[in-house]
Amino acid sequence: MANTPLHQQLSIMRQSFFDEGLLDHEQVSYLETLENEDDPDFIENLFTMFLRDSSRYIDSIEKALEATPVDYPVMERMMYRLKGSSASIGASKINGETNTLRKVFHDGDIESAKVSLQKLKEEHANFKEKLVVYVGMLKEAKLSEY
């Protein structure tokens, strides 16, 4: 990456994700090694897919938890998917909140699960807000290189 103000800003933002514990440095560094000439937009595409899919998973979890009776199979499936996808991109806080939700849900504490889901939704909204800006800046930086 060239050393332009945009690239410097990207670098600072990226580091802030690690400092805040939003992203796991090791996992993101590994994923960045997978980006190459054949797939130069790998990271942006991966983060964009995560944001899309994780939003759907959280919506499904919320609907399943509010159903009467609670839709246990959907809850299990969506929590499992969210846990896996957040771990695969290194979304540390979302993964942690998902694990907390899974624990209280498996303990049978539906009210605590609802509270945990709200925390997860807040963490996801914060992550999404920051990541959307970051992905946009990545795309802008790549366009400016041409």
- Are 137 and 13 in contact by the 8 Å Cβ rule? The answer is yes
Percent of the chain's residues with pLDDT above 70: 97
The pLDDT mean for the chain works out to 93
Region 91-110 average pLDDT: 96
| pLDDT greater than 80 at residue 133 | yes
Residue 97's pLDDT band (cuts 50, 70, 90): very high
The whole-angstrom separation of Cα 29 and Cα 24 is: 9
pLDDT of residue 2: 56
pLDDT of residue 5: 87
Identify the weakest region by mean pLDDT among 25-29, 33-37, 57-61, 131-135: 33-37
Containing 146, the helix (H) or strand (E) segment is none
Cα–Cα distance list, 69 to 72, 91, 92, 95, 100 (Å):
9, 31, 31, 26, 21
Report the predicted TM-score, pTM, of the whole model to 2 decimal places.
Answer: 0.90
| pLDDT greater than 60 at residue 1 | no
